[in-house]
Amino acid sequence: MENVSIARYRNAAPNNPDAAALSDAEADTLVMSDPPGERASASGDWIAIIEPNFTGHRWRYVEWIAQACVEAGHRCLVVTDTEYADHPLAQRIVREARPDLRLVLLDLHTVPPGPHFAASVYMRFRNFYARAFRQISKTMDVRLVVAPYADYFFYTLAGFDSPFGETPWIAIIMGMTFHHAGIGLRTPRRRFVDMAKSALFRRAMRSRGLRELFTIDPTLPDWFASTKPRRAAPLSYLADPFPEIEGMDPLLAREQLKLDAHTRYLLVYGAIGERKGIRELMLALEHKPDAPCLVIAGQQDDETRAFIDAHAPRLASAPVIFNQFISDEMERELFSACDAVWLGYKQHYGMSGVLVQAYRFGKPVVASADGLIGWYCRDGALGPLLDDLEPATIAHALDTLAQRWRASNTAQPAGEHLLSSHTLAQFKHTLQAAMA
């Protein structure tokens, strides 16, 4: 895992038993989504989706994997931390009260005492997954575990094996970059770190119970095959999906969002933090009065919100800010209304679902040349590339974008582009084959 993100940790009290071994009393705190008085029998086999973090894109993957499960006729448990009880996805599962889809809320963020947990973020996450599996296994028959973001703990498998015991499991990894420098992608070169992580990765691929590992990085399976692995689980490419939602009339979308009909808008979308490159973008725009107006949509962390609030008055056009959870309908409106999408991310070398969304809606992007985003956009057909985030570089990219607009040259590449396979239907089909 290159970039670990979780809302917060909760430290176990030093006089408590090791939190890795939950007591029976703790097991009684398990919260499930069955309506009062109508709790269904726990008998039968379930597929458990364990995800301790519903921030960013992670909740979407949980939702789509759960849909793949139930659409294929499986019964599904969505297991997450109690902190996300009020998340819209959790609330929807509870409200719908389906017999084949349940929500299980557990304390997955408490860090147990011990130097191995204090020193290693990977061990902390591994504990979250092992703890969740042990607890749900006390009352449910789980035949398969799905880990939507196995980057959290995957390297620990080389020394500690599966956190799910003998139960089969499949998983998705999203941000591993140890192989990128070796195959020519723009990414920091960390010779010894990358060598160590590649060795841990190859060994982890022989972990007990691992039925299949999926990656949203199309370069990783080829790299792994070149290492001539033996007795390893299959490693398959899983296209980072976006639902096949048709765009709406841009003028109607702008009316819904209260945007001006004649202004050019640049969308910054998703979990809004430092790695979005939002600081560098706003600093560049302070000296560019002819720049497009920013639309900043998504939940902001505290530091980023303070920066945006301080610098927004310095821009020629006041940015339009939606600091909130973005619904599916509002997402459709945003991508329909805006003229281009910002992907000038900072120290981000993995894939981006926002790139897929921009492609699906036919919007050009202003993208970093680093990592997988740069790899997908390398020919410039999707929009101008940024070799760095200096103000002059950003200004030049925006000028290039303006030239495209003036020439009405905003058409996206034809369907043979790799991003054309990034559909939700293909995503579900691939996972369903592994669940059978």
DSSP per-residue string spanning 154-193: GGGHHHH--TTTTS-EEEEE----TTTGGGT-S----HHH
pLDDT band of 42, cuts 50, 70, 90: very low
Q: How many CB atoms lie within 10 A of CB 420?
A: 16
Lowest mean pLDDT among 160-164, 239-243, 341-345: 239-243
Checking if the pLDDT of 231 tops 80, the result is yes
Fold of the domain built from segment(s) 10-34+41-238: Rossmann fold (3.40.50)
d(CA 218, CA 418) in angstroms, rounded, equals 9
Checking if the pLDDT of 14 tops 60, the result is no
Helix (H, G, I), strand (E, B) or coil at 387: coil
Checking if the pLDDT of 409 tops 60, the result is no
Provide mean pLDDT across the span 96-117: 88
What confidence tens digit (pLDDT) does each residue in 383-396 have? 999 999 999 999 99
Closest-CA residue to 44 (of 146, 143, 130): 143
Question: 29: which residues sit within 8 A by CB, 6+ positions away?
Answer: 106, 107
Check residue 421 and give its pLDDT.
Answer: 75
Check residue 218 and give its pLDDT.
Answer: 92
Q: Do the domains 250-411 and 10-34+41-238 match in fold?
A: yes
Q: Which residue's entry shows tokens 């790695």?
A: 275
Check residue 9 and give its pLDDT.
Answer: 61
Q: Which residue has the higher pLDDT, 418 or 336?
A: 336
d(CA 2, CA 28) in angstroms, rounded, equals 35
Closest-CA residue to 359 (of 387, 337, 335): 335
Checking if the pLDDT of 5 tops 70, the result is no
Percent of the chain whose pLDDT exceeds 70: 87
Check residue 2 and give its pLDDT.
Answer: 42
Check residue 416 and give its pLDDT.
Answer: 54
Checking if the pLDDT of 334 tops 90, the result is yes
Out of 226-235, 252-261, 417-426, give the one with best mean pLDDT: 252-261
Helix (H, G, I), strand (E, B) or coil at 335: helix
Check residue 222 and give its pLDDT.
Answer: 94
Are 69 and 165 within 8 A, CB to CB? no
Checking if the pLDDT of 1 tops 60, the result is no
Is 3.40.50.2000 the CATH classification of the domain at 250-411? yes
What confidence tens digit (pLDDT) does each residue in 164-215 have? 999 999 999 998 999 999 999 998 888 899 999 999 999 999 999 999 999 9
Boundaries of every domain in the chain: 10-34+41-238, 250-411
Check residue 111 and give its pLDDT.
Answer: 80
pLDDT band of 117, cuts 50, 70, 90: confident
Check residue 44 and give its pLDDT.
Answer: 63
Helix (H, G, I), strand (E, B) or coil at 275: helix
| Average pLDDT across the chain, whole number | 88
pLDDT band of 413, cuts 50, 70, 90: low
Checking if the pLDDT of 23 tops 50, the result is no
Check residue 38 and give its pLDDT.
Answer: 39
Closest-CA residue to 106 (of 122, 129, 123): 129
pLDDT band of 398, cuts 50, 70, 90: very high
pLDDT band of 407, cuts 50, 70, 90: confident
What confidence tens digit (pLDDT) does each residue in 346-374 have? 999 988 889 989 998 999 999 999 999 99
Percent of the chain whose pLDDT exceeds 90: 70
Check residue 27 and give its pLDDT.
Answer: 36
